[in-house]
Amino acid sequence: MIDGNTETTILDIRGQVCPSTLLVSLKEINKHKDSLKSGKSKLKIITDNRDAVTTIPESCKSMGYPCDVEKSVEGYYIITIKKSSTKDK
């Protein structure tokens, strides 16, 4: 999905539990690290695992990627990972 000049990749991991949610998410973040760093893409992770709403954002922030978490009316969570901060970790 392309939103303006930013491509959005959607990773649906509903039904998975930690640590699988974190490991699959980190693999996808690393796969798209260059485009995330440049701001050419963002990653939306859809999960229904409440623990993932803590572990994934904490890992993203430690890697320098800001992220937002929102809860949908259907009861699942959407974690959006955007352009990394200017400093690389």
> Phi, psi (5° rounding) for residue 41?
-145, 165
Give the span between the Cα atoms of 5 and 86, in whole angstroms.
Answer: 19
User: Residue 50 sits in which domain range?
Assistant: 2-81
Residue 88 within a domain: no
Residue 87 within a domain: no
If one counts every other C-beta atom within 10 angstroms of the C-beta of residue 25, the result is: 24
Q: Decide if 48 contacts 75 (C-beta within 8 A).
A: yes
In total, how many domains does the chain have? 1
Element (H, E) at 18: none
Predicted confidence pLDDT, tens digits, the chain (89 residues): 556 678 999 999 999 998 999 999 999 999 999 999 999 999 999 999 999 999 999 999 999 999 999 999 999 999 999 886 555 44
CATH number at residue 63: 3.30.110.40
